Structure 1
Amino acid sequence: IKTFLEMESHEERIQEIIERNKELEASEERKRKAKQLELQRKEAARTNRGIPSRPPSYPIYTPPTRPAVTETIDTYEAEKKKAFAKPMHTRGKGMQLGKKSKTTDIYEKVREDLGPEVEETAPLVSPQAATPVVPESRASLSSERAGVQITVSETISAKVNREGALKAFEVKGDLQLRISDPALTKLKLDLLTNTSHGAQFRTHPNVDKALFTNSSIIQLKDTTKRFPANNAIGVLRWRVASNGSEHADVLPITFTVWVNKGSDSTTVTVEYELTGTDNLRDVSVTMPYGATEPSVSSFDAVYEVAGDSLEWNIGSIDTSNASGSFEYEVVDLDVDENEFFPMSVHFSKTVPFVEVDVSSVSLLEEGQEVNFAKDVKSVSDGFTIE
C-alpha cells in the first residue's frame, strides 16, 4: 500500500511539474516578447536622440514561485530515485510509472530551463547582440537624404521609315518638385534651359512665368505662399514636335533596314548608328516575323526569340560601339516583307533630350542654398520603324 501510494504521489507530481512547466513557458514567452518590445523602443530612442542603449532588466516578469518549483523538482528527484531503487511488487501502477520516460524527459527539460543563471540571462543578451544593423542604416540614409527631390521625366516618340528618314517625332517632358521637409517649402529653383530643337516651355499657373522667361527661375507668383510638402508637383513642362521636316540626325539614334528578297529566301539587315554624344542604355529592337521563324546569321550583342518576334538586346550604346547591325534570314517563297514591320525601339538616356537642368535650390527669404537630389528619366515611347 505504501509503495502504491508513493507511486500515485509520483504521478501527481509529474502532472504538477508539467502544468508548472507550461506556466513557466508562457511566462518566459511573455517576458521574451516584452524584452523585444523594450529593446526596440530603446533602439528607436537611441537612434533618434543618440542615447546609447543597454540591456534592460525586467524583474516584474520573474516568476515568484520559481524557488518553490526548484525545491519541488529536487524533492521529486529524490523520491524518484528511492522509488526506482525499491523492488516493485505491485505490477499495475509500477508498470505505468515505468512508461513515463517522455514525462521524465520533460522534467529534465524543466530542470535545464531552471538551471544555471547564465541560461536565464541569455535572452537579455541575445536580442542586443542580434539587433539588426539595417534599421540603423536606413535611419542614417533617411537623415542624410536631401529634403528636396527634383525629377526630370521625358518621353521620346518617333516614326522613321526603312531608309532611316524621319516621318514624325515628339518629345514631352516635365520637371517635378517634391519637398519632404516642411521647413524648405518656401524656395526657388535656378534652372539651366535651352530651347534647342524648337522646344516650347510652359510653367505651372501658380509659378511666376515672367521670372522663368527672363531668368530661368522657378518660384511661386505669390511669394507669401509655400510649395506643398510631401507631394510631387509638376512645375514646368516642355514639348518638341516635328512632322518630319527635320533630318533624322535630330534623334539620338537612327536605324536603316535592308530587305533583300532572293529566289527562295528573304534576308533582313538592321543597322543602327548613334547620332550624338549622349550615351543610351537598355537599347533593344523588337522585330516581328510571320509564320516562318527566321534564322539569325549575324548580330552584334545578344538576341532572343519571343513568340512571334526577335528581341535584339543591344544594351548600352556609346562612342565605343556607336554602330552595329543585326541580320536574319527567312526561308519562305511567299513571305511578305511587311511582316517584318513595324519594328519597335526601346532605350533610355542619362540626360534629357531637351536641355533642362537644375543648378541650385535656395530658400526664398534667407537666400541660403539647400541640398537637393535629382533624377533623370528620359525614355523612348512609341519609337517605331515602319
Structure 2
Amino acid sequence: MVVLASSIISKSGKVLVSRQFVDMSRIRIEGLLAAFPKLVGTGKQHTYVETENVRYVYQPIESLYLLLVTNKQSNILEDLETLRLLSKLVPEYSLSLDEEGICRTAFELIFAFDEVISLGHKENVTVAQVKQYCEMESHEEKLHKLVMQSKINETKDVMKRKASEIDKSKIDRGRVEKGGFMSLQSMGSGRIESTFSDMSISSSGSGGFGGGSGFGLSTDIDSFSTKTKGRPPSSATAPPKGLGMQLGKSQRTNQFLESLKAEGEVILEDVQPKAGQSKSAAPPLTDPVTLNVEEKLNVTLKRDGGMSNFDVQGTLSLQILNQEDAHIQVQIETGANPGILFKTHPNMNKELFSNENILGLRDPSRPFPTGQAGDAGGVGLLKWRMQTTDESMVPLTINCWPSVSGNETYVNIEYEASQMFDLRNVVISVPLPALREAPRVSQVDGEWRYDSRNSTLEWSILLVDNSNRSGSMEFVVPPADSSVFFPISVRFSATSTFSDLKVVNILPLQGGNPPKFSQRTQLITENYQVVGGQGGPYHRCCRWIGEEAVRLFAENGAFVVAADIQDELGPHVVASIGSERVSYCHCDVRDENQVEKTVNYTLDKYGSLDILFSNAGVMGPMTGILDLDIQGFDNTMATNVRGVAATIKHAARAMVARKIHGSIICTTSVAASLGGTAPHAYTTSKHALLGLVRGACSELGAYGIRVNSISPFGVATPLSCKAYNLQPSEVEANSSAIANLKGIVLKARHVAEAALFLAADESAYVSGHNLVVDGGFTVVDHSYSAN
C-alpha cells in the first residue's frame, strides 16, 4: 500500500482536510485534488478512478468525499480496507459530517489518518468498543475483593467482641476491688494469646489472579485464636511486633493490646509474613537450576456416578540461568505408579533414562539452553501420561441433587476429596437457568458468588485438607429442569502430583560441585467436569442433524471440530467417524467464554476457521401464552439466540483477523416464517435468529464472509421427540401427514446436505439467504385442498 495523501473534500471540490504521506509539493497535491471532482462518474467503478499516474480511492460520506490518493502499483484491496476503516473513524471524531464539523475537528482527523496509515493501526474497532474493552471487569478480581472484605469484616467483628469482653471484665474487676469479694491474683491467673499473623493474602505469581487458578490466597489459613493458659514465668518476654498487614483501625488494635498489657497480661505476637513470602506466589528464578514439574488433569464424571474420562498429562522442564551450569545431567525418581507412561525428549539419551533414571543429552558435549523461558517454562525434558478407569484415583467428586418442591427448586451440592492431595483454590461452577436475581443460598461451606452474566453460581473453598475433606452447599432457585444444572465445572490446584516425580540430584559433566537447584511442582485442572445424563438440553452436534453434518463434512474432506455439552456422546461420535479429521470439544453456548475457547481450540488445532455451522437449540417450555414460563423463555433465548450470537461473534472475529472469506450457517426453523407451528419461546427465538443472520450478513459482507440460515420442516430429532414424547417414527408420520411434498420423508441428512451446499463454492455468491427445507410447506395455503 502506497498512499500519497488522504483527504476529505466537498463534492464541489473544496479541500477541507488533507494529509500527505510522501515528499510532494503543495501545488502537486492541490492539483491532484482539484482534478478529482472532474473524474468522478467517468469510470466504471464506483469505488475508485484512475489516471495515467495515480489512483483515486473514494467513498461518499453524506455531502462529502473521503478520498485516498495512491499510486497505481498500490494494492487496491488494502486501499479499500484502509478507506473502510477511515470511514468508520471519521464519524467518531466529527459528530456532524458537514464542512463546519470537519473543519472543527481537523487536527483530530489528521492524527487519526496518521495512526491508520503511518503508524500501521489496523484494529477495526470504534471508540465505544475501546472504552468497553478498557472497562471490562475481572470476575476473579471481584471474587478476590469479596473474600478479602469478608475476612476483614469477620476479624473486625471478633475484635469488637473481644474489646467488649475486656470492657466488661474491667467493670467486673472494679466491682470486685470495691467489694472485696475476690482477690486480684485469682482474676489475673491467665493470659490471652491473640494471633493475627496468619491473615496473609497474596495476588502475585502463578497462584494469583489472572493465572486461571481462581483465588490468590496463600496456604496459610486465616485464623484468630484466643486461648487461656497458665501465666508463664516472670522471665518470659514477648517477641518484637511484626510488620505484617493489620486489619481494621491500627489505633483501635493498639488500644486493645495496650489495655491487655496494662492489666498485667503477657501478649505474644507472631511476626507477619511479607507479601512476597506467600507460599502461593511464584518467585523469580534465583537458583542456578530450576526444574518445573506440572501435571494437567482432564476428568469427566457422570451425574449418576461413574467416570467417562480420566487423563493426566505431565511435563518436566528445565531452566538454567548461567552458561557455566549448562553441562549437566538430571537424576530423578518417580513414584510406584505403573499406569504412568514416560516419554523423553528426542534429544535425550533414552537408554540412560531407562537404565539409571538420569536425563541427559544424547551428545554430552552439548550444553542445555540457558536463560529464563517465560511462559514456556524452560526446556522440556520429559513427558508422561496416565489414563485409568479406577474411580479411586479421582481427587474430587461432586454430587448434585436438584429437587422441585412447589414453585421452587432445591439444589444440594456436595464435594468429597480423597486423601491423596490437599487441594487449593477450589472453585465449583454450577450453571443456572436465567434468573432475575441471585439464587438464595441457605448453607455453604466456603464462599459463593453469582455470575449473572453467564448465569453460573461459583462455590469456592480456599483449601481442602484433612479438616474439610467433605462439604456442601444448598441453594434455591425457581422451578427448573434438573439438566439445567449440568455440566458442573471444577478447577483447583495442588502441590503434589500423580507421578510423584522428584529431582534427586544434578550431575555436573565438567567436574566441580553440582550447582544448586530447586524444584517446583504443580497439579492443575485443565478440564474437570460433572456432566448430566441423557435428559439434558440438546446442543449443536452429536444428535442427528449435528452428527449427520459432522459425518458429511468429514466425507467431503473437511477437518471438523464437533462442539457439544453431551460429553458422553461427543467422543463416541468422533470415534465412530475417526479422529484423523474430526475432534471433539466441550462447549456450552450459553457461556461466551466456552465459545471463545472452542474457537481458539479450532484455530490451534487446524490453523484456520473457514466454516461455522451453528446448530445449537432447545425447544423450551411447551405452555401456551397465558401460562408462559418466563424463566424457561429466558433460557430458550439464551441458548437459541444469545448463544448463536456469541458463536457468530467469535467465529467472525477469527475469520476477519485472518482475512478468511468464510461461510457461517445457522439452523433456524419453519417456525421463523410461520406462527403456531411450535411453542411460543421456540418460535420467538427462531424469528430473532433469522434477524440476527440478516444483520450479520449486512456487516460481514464487507469482509467477504457469507451468512445464511437453514429452516427445516419437522424432522425427527431428540429435540422434537423429547418435546412431544414421541418416537422418531411417530414424529415423521405426523410431519408427513401435514407436509406439502408427498412421497418423501424429511431426514436429518437432507438438512446436513443443505448446510454443505451453503458451505461450498457452489453457493459462493449466496448470503443473507434463509434456505427453507420444507417441501413447499411455508408457501402453500393449506386451507385449500388438492382437489
The TM tier, using the shorter chain, reads: 0.5 to 0.7
Q: Which amino acid aligns with 2:409?
A: T
* Counterpart-to-counterpart distance in 2, 1:337 and 1:238: 38
CA contact (8 A) 1:349 1:378 kept: yes
Aligned residue in 2 for 1:200: 341
1:359 aligns with 2:510: no
In the TM superposition, residue 259 of structure 1 has moved relative to its aligned partner by: 2.0
How far the C-alpha of 1:258 sits from its partner, in A, is 1.5
2:484 paired residue number: 339
User: Residue in 1 aligned with 2:525?
Assistant: 380
Identity %: 31
| Residue 318, structure 1, aligned to residue 465, structure 2 | yes
Hey, what does 1:274 align to over in structure 2? 417
Contact 1:164 1:254 in 2 (8 A): no
Q: Distance in 2 between matches of 1:300 and 1:222?
A: 55
Q: Give the residue type in structure 2 aligned to 1:272.
A: Y
CA distance in 1 between counterparts of 2:338 and 2:425 reads: 24
Query: How do residues 69-88 of structure 1 correspond to structure 2 at under 5 angstroms?
Result: none
Instruction: Give the structure 2 partner of residue 304 of structure 1.
Output: 449
Deviations 1:277-309 (A, max 9, x none): 421100010111002353212111110111211
Distance 1:288 1:357 in 2: 39
**Letter in structure 2 aligned against 1:281:** R
DSSP-derived class of the 2:346 partner:
coil
Partners in 2 of 1:328 and 1:162 — Cα distance?
18
2:399 aligned partner: 256
Alpha-carbon distance between aligned partners in 2 of 1:321 and 1:281, rounded to the nearest angstrom = 12
Q: 2:353 and 2:471 mapped to 1: Cα distance?
A: 42
Q: Is the 8 A contact 2:489 2:529 kept in 1?
A: yes
Equivalent residues in 2 for 1:220-299, closer than 5 Å: 220-230=361-371, 231=373, 232-242=378-388, 245-247=389-391, 249-292=392-435, 293-299=438-444
Pick closer, same or farther for the CA change 1:346–1:359 going to 2, 3 Å. same
CA apart distance, 1:318: 0.3
Aligned counterpart in structure 1 of residue 315 of structure 2, from 154, 162, 174: 174
Contact persistence 2:403–2:482 (CA under 8 A):
no
SS of the equivalent of 1:183 reads helix
Deviation at 1:143, TM superposition (A): 12
Q: Counterpart of 2:626?
A: none
Contact 1:164–1:257 (Cα < 8 Å) also in 2: no
Instruction: Map Cα deviations across residues 195-230 of structure 1 (whole Å, 9 max, x no partner).
Output: 516111000111111111121111111112211122
The 3-state SS of whatever aligns with 1:319 is: coil
Q: Distance in 2 between matches of 1:210 and 1:311?
A: 48
Indicate the structure with greater strand content. 1
Distance verdict in 2 for CA 1:144–1:166, change over 3 Å:
closer
SS at match of 1:366: coil
Q: Report whether the alignment pairs 1:162 with 2:303.
A: yes
Q: In the alignment, is the contact (CA less than 8 A) between 1:197 and 1:240 conserved in 2?
A: no
> In structure 2, do the counterparts of structure 1 residues 259 and 155 end up closer, same or farther at CA, with 3 Å as the change threshold?
same
Distance 2:434 2:512 in 1: 66
Is 1:368–2:513 an aligned residue pair? yes
Tell me the distance in 1 between the aligned counterparts of 2:403 and 2:520: 44
- Alpha-carbon distance in 1 for matches of 2:478, 2:485: 14
When normalised by structure 2's length, the TM-score is: 0.30
Q: What whole-Å deviation, never above 9, does each CA across 1:264-287 have from its counterpart, x for those lacking one?
A: 322111111111242110001011
8 A contact 1:164–1:255 mirrored in 2? no
Contact 2:490 2:528 in 1 (8 A): yes
The whole-number CA distance in structure 2 between the counterparts of 1:197 and 1:294 is: 46
Deviation at 1:188, TM superposition (A): 0.9
Structure 2 Cα separation of the partners of residues 316 and 323 of structure 1: 11
- Deviation string 1:324-352 (CA, Å, 9 cap, x unpaired) is 001112222xx111111111101001112
CA distance in 2: counterparts of 1:385 and 1:310, whole angstroms: 15
* Alignment-mate amino acid for residue 285 of structure 1: I
Q: Give the SS at the match of 2:352.
A: helix
SS at 1:167 equivalent: strand
Structure 2 match to 1:185:
326
Larger RCO of the pair (alpha carbons < 8 Å, separation 6+): 1
- In the superposition, relative to structure 1, how do residues 324 and 369 fare at CA in structure 2: closer, same or farther (>3 Å)? same
The one-letter amino acid paired with 1:246 is D
Identify the residue that residue 60 of structure 1 maps to in structure 2: none
Alignment of structure 1 residues 2-151 onto 2, 5 Å: 145-151=286-292
Distance 1:367 1:171 in 2: 38
**Residue 256 (structure 1) shift:** 1.5
What letter matches 2:399 in structure 1? T
Q: Residue 58 of structure 2 aligns with which residue?
A: none
Give SS of 1:196's match: coil
Instruction: Give the 3 Å change call, closer, same or farther, for CA 275–290 of structure 1 in structure 2.
Output: same
| Counterpart residue identity of residue 238, structure 1 | W
1:128-167 per-position Cα deviation (integer Å, ceiling 9, x unaligned): xxxxxxxxxxxxxx99921111111211110001234222
**Which whole-Å CA distance do the structure 2 matches of 1:324 and 1:270 have between them?**
9
User: Contact between 1:149 and 1:372, CA under 8 Å: does it hold in 2?
Assistant: yes
Looking at structure 2, the residues matched to 190 and 348 of structure 1 have their Cα atoms a distance apart, in angstroms, of: 26
Letter in 1 for 2:395: P
Partner of 2:475: 328
The structure with more radius of gyration? 1
Query: CA 1:368–1:228 in structure 2 vs 1: closer, same or farther (change >3 Å)?
Result: same
| Aligned counterparts of 2:343 and 2:530: Cα–Cα separation in 1 | 31
Q: 2-side partners of 1:325 and 1:178: how far apart? A: 42
> What is the DSSP-based 3-state SS (H/G/I as helix, E as strand, rest coil) of the residue aligned with 1:320?
coil
Structure 2 residues not aligned, in runs of 5+: 1-282, 532-787
Deviation string for 1:11-39 (max 9, x for gaps)? Answer: xxxxxxxxxxxxxxxxxxxxxxxxxxxxx
Deviations 1:221-261 (A, max 9, x none): 1112211122521000011123xx322x2011111222223
* SS at 1:321 equivalent: coil
Residue 132 of structure 1: aligned partner: none
The one-letter code of the counterpart of 1:211 is L
Shift of 1:194: 2.7
